[in-house]
A = this chain, B = another copy of it.
Amino acid sequence: MHGYIKADHKDQLTNRLRRIEGQVRGVQRMVDEEAYCVDILTQISSLIAASEKVAALVLRDHVEHCVKESIRNEDEAEEKIDELVAAVERFLKV
């Protein structure tokens, strides 16, 4: 099954994910060099916030495209809606 991400979102996502990858490597380096724990924690909370922003962008494109299409075409709309709510629940960990 194929997804759909807006062309200009794709660049944004790629840039953000590269920055997140850099943040993860930064945390690795900090652990390695025994940096101050609170600074490590700050870096981790910042990479989590950045990852959530990436998720929000992917979610928007998913709803705007896939969910909308499936509802319009009456094609597996229920499954798509279930999937969407389940995805949000995984973020809320409910």
A residues whose Cβ falls under 8 Å from a Cβ of B: 1-5, 10, 13-14, 17-18, 20-21, 24-25, 27-28, 31-32, 34-42, 44-45, 47-49, 51-56, 58-64, 66-68, 71-72, 77-78, 81, 83-85, 87-94
Which residue of B25, B38, B49, B87 is within 8 Å of A83 (Cβ)?
B38
Q: A35-B3, A44-B55, A84-B38 are in contact. Are A25 and B14 (CB under 8 A)?
A: no
Instruction: Give bound CA distance, A33 to B41, whole Å.
Output: 32
Q: A68-B81, A85-B60 are in contact. Are A92 and B52 (CB under 8 A)?
A: yes
- Please give the count of copies of this chain that the complex contains: 4
Q: Are B34 and A25 in contact (CB under 8 A)?
A: no
